[in-house]
Structure 1
Amino acid sequence: MQLVDKILPYKSLSIVGLEKNTGKTETLNYVLKNIKNSSKRVAITSIGIDGETVDAVTNTSKPEIMIYREMIFTTAEQYFLKKRFSAEILDISREHTILGRLVTAKAVSNGKILLSGAADTHTLKKTIENNVRFGTDITIVDGALSRMSLASPAITEAMILATGAAYSSNIETLVRKTKFVCTLIGLATFDSSNIKFIDSNSTISINGDVELKGVYCLIDNELHDLDMLSALTISNISKGNLEKMRQNRTIFVFGILSNKLIDFLIEKNIAKDSTIVAKDFSTIFISDDKYHIFQKMGGKIMVLRKTNLIAVTVNPTSPEGIILNSTILQKRLEDEIGIKVIDVKQAEQK
């Protein structure tokens, strides 16, 4: 199955780079070029700025973003005025960014553009919802550097991950680090259908949309607040709530899940048979070694919502000129993660 065929069933897609210069923009251009002749109406936006001709950090040339006729795009006013093709304005947002309001338009001809879309995930979600009003079938979001939050299943339904020599110049290290990110993306979903949260005498169902904060313990299918605003301050937990955790080892974290909670559970001998449930992979900031130690001790990490990772793309060339063997890199990654891996530059030449 071709990459485009995997994309078409979804209404929204994010493209996220693990590091600067891992080929995210090349991946976006490859997707746009190959999807333009499909029957789907495509919209494109970004979180952050992308499409620069020169990398501000490495001072190396970068590919610009190519928009095709009939595609809908959203970018800031300043960049909309600098575009090099004709477009019909569909909407101008009330919200302001540092580069002006967000302009949504339909391309009347082909051309290149700088994208600077929503500054936050709330506005991004609103942009995606608005695109449906303009008859789009799928919105593609170009992500800022390592901005995993846009790939949250609460924002986009599917994602493509871009990795490469800029992330690590050693193939085995690159494969190991990329595999770990894919492991987090692929974490199993916790069945929360029968779980309730009781707050102020009202009962609500727990799912990926619920806006809770802090750390909770599951007792008899009910979430009990452990009076922690964040898992980052878990060391301040009361003796009573610590005992709840010890007796009921399913812990829900609404917010950032970091090494601190893992270390705490190991230190208190609670890691064995513990299950930590995070909102989704984008809220998990734990290291590879801590994850595997926790796993070996009998602990599990699960999520309320899972993202559909449909492909991984590779850029075997680093800004410093290091070139990895693309064929070996693709095979090693595919063997480890079980997902199609594409060198888009190589694919373009076929």
Structure 2
Amino acid sequence: MHLEGLSSLAIIGLGKNTGKTTLLNRLLRENPERTFALTSIGRDGEETDEVTGTKKPRIYIPRGTLFATASETLRAGDVTAEILAATPITTALGPVVILRALSDGFVELAGPSRTADLTLVEKKIRTFEPQALFVIDGAVSRISAAGRGLAEAAVLCTGTAVSRNLEELVRKTQTAVHLLTLPKTELPEPFPENRPALFRRAWSPVEVSTPAGGYDAVRDALAKGIHGVYFPGAVTEGLITELLPSPHFRELTLLATDGTRFLLRERLLEILGGRSIRLEVLHPIRLLAVAVNPKDPRGGSLPEETLRRRLEEVLDLPILSTQDNTRGGDLHEV
């Protein structure tokens, strides 16, 4: 994967064991000319998964890499590092500190999860390495690492751990890509993003009102010529199901902060499309590629070439391998 000109990247996954750590290790190994700065919105790089008890690939960083992690994770690695800065960010594993590796070695990452804290970490890192590639490891299935404008671009990891049924895995991946790449809204003016808002027809001039009753008031407002509805949090299937009985819930735009906020399955997306309901976002995500892990550590696998070929048929994105081989999945092909 060509990383020239890229300043930040989120590695996200559809679930556990989809190859995020292996992909991160490949990026580090195959781009020795770049200085990386790493953090995670969860915990990653541990030798054994604390939930499943299965062995996990560890994060191996080269000398010179910067990383931000909770202080208690430092003893779990073997890298020699110097502390560059402390931060006011606290976690269950201690305060987050920023370090530079003085040797090659293994590290665990347990960074902040709040948007403001991640922004602070990146800002502090850039005081030491302004040109570093800041990589946010999504951990577990936290695709939100790609949203909220946190990263300039993202790579989505998927694989047999999500589903051992080929066609089901392809459908889930295709739906995730659709949501992650939703278009930016044409809304011409900024507005408070921390509360629901209703927009009348023709976007301009924009008339914004906040329903006094919160989400319950949206259904009542649909009959008043509403052009768009903005939800500041997650747009869930439960929320949409509450609106479906309204005959006025059609021919409008649903807005969210970014594509990670739409938690909708394929069938409900089809229903919304049938009602001419468009999904748009304030902060679009630049998805660079999809990486596939054909193996499930709990047992079972899918033929990698078959999986890659099926995804290439339905996605207009490079399909990479998270494995250590480069056959057909060379990260430099993007």
Q: Same fold (TM over 0.5)?
A: yes
Deviation at 1:117, TM superposition (A): 1.0
- Aligned partner of 1:227 among 197, 211, 232: 211
Cα distance in 2 between the residues matched to 1:14 and 1:242: 36
Show the counterpart of 2:294: 316
Deviation at 1:238, TM superposition (A): 7.5
CA offset digits 1:5-56 (Å, max 9, x no partner): 1x33221111111111111111111111112x22x32211111111111122
Distance 1:119 1:242, change over 3 A: closer
Tell me the TM-score normalized by structure 1.
Answer: 0.86
Cα distance in 2 between the residues matched to 1:237 and 1:160: 34
CA offset digits 1:140-167 (Å, max 9, x no partner): 1111212122211421111111110000
Show the counterpart of 1:141: 136
Q: Percent identity?
A: 30
The number of equivalent residue pairs is: 325
CA contact (8 A) 1:259 1:285 kept: yes
Show the counterpart of 1:293: 271
Secondary structure in 2 matching 1:347: coil
- Aligned partner of 1:123 among 110, 117, 121: 117
Secondary structure in 2 matching 1:30: helix
Cα distance in 2 between the residues matched to 1:57 and 1:336: 33
The letter for the 2-side match of 1:32 is: L
Please list every run of 5 or more consecutive structure 2 residues that lacks an aligned counterpart in the other structure.
none
- Aligned partner of 1:165 among 135, 160, 166: 160
Show the counterpart of 1:259: 237
Cα distance in 2 between the residues matched to 1:167 and 1:336: 18
Cα distance in 1 between the residues matched to 2:39 and 2:218: 42
Show the counterpart of 1:192: 187
CA contact (8 A) 1:50 1:114 kept: yes
Deviation at 1:242, TM superposition (A): 3.7
Show the counterpart of 2:199: 217
Deviation at 1:211, TM superposition (A): 3.2
CA contact (8 A) 1:314 1:341 kept: yes
Secondary structure in 2 matching 1:149: helix
Q: Does 1:12 align with 2:8?
A: yes
The letter for the 2-side match of 1:216 is: L
Cα distance in 2 between the residues matched to 1:57 and 1:97: 19
Cα distance in 1 between the residues matched to 2:222 and 2:287: 36
How large is the RMSD of aligned CA atoms in angstroms? Answer: 2.0
Runs of 4+ in 1 over 6 A off after TM superposition: none
Cα distance in 2 between the residues matched to 1:238 and 1:293: 17
Deviation at 1:96, TM superposition (A): 2.2
Cα distance in 2 between the residues matched to 1:213 and 1:75: 32
Show the counterpart of 2:255: 277
- Aligned partner of 1:105 among 99, 115, 136: 99
Cα distance in 2 between the residues matched to 1:150 and 1:268: 34
Show the counterpart of 2:305: 327
Cα distance in 2 between the residues matched to 1:238 and 1:226: 13
The letter for the 1-side match of 2:17 is: N
Cα distance in 1 between the residues matched to 2:142 and 2:175: 16
Cα distance in 1 between the residues matched to 2:324 and 2:62: 22
CA contact (8 A) 2:79 2:101 kept: yes
CA contact (8 A) 1:12 1:128 kept: no
Show the counterpart of 1:202: none
Please list every run of 5 or more consecutive structure 1 residues that lacks an aligned counterpart in the other structure.
196-204
Distance 1:295 1:45, change over 3 A: same
Cα distance in 2 between the residues matched to 1:89 and 1:159: 28
Show the counterpart of 2:178: 183
Cα distance in 2 between the residues matched to 1:179 and 1:282: 14
CA contact (8 A) 1:121 1:149 kept: no
CA offset digits 1:196-225 (Å, max 9, x no partner): xxxxxxxxx34xxx4331132234432322
The letter for the 2-side match of 1:214 is: P
Report matched runs for 1:42-57 at 5 Å.
42-57=36-51
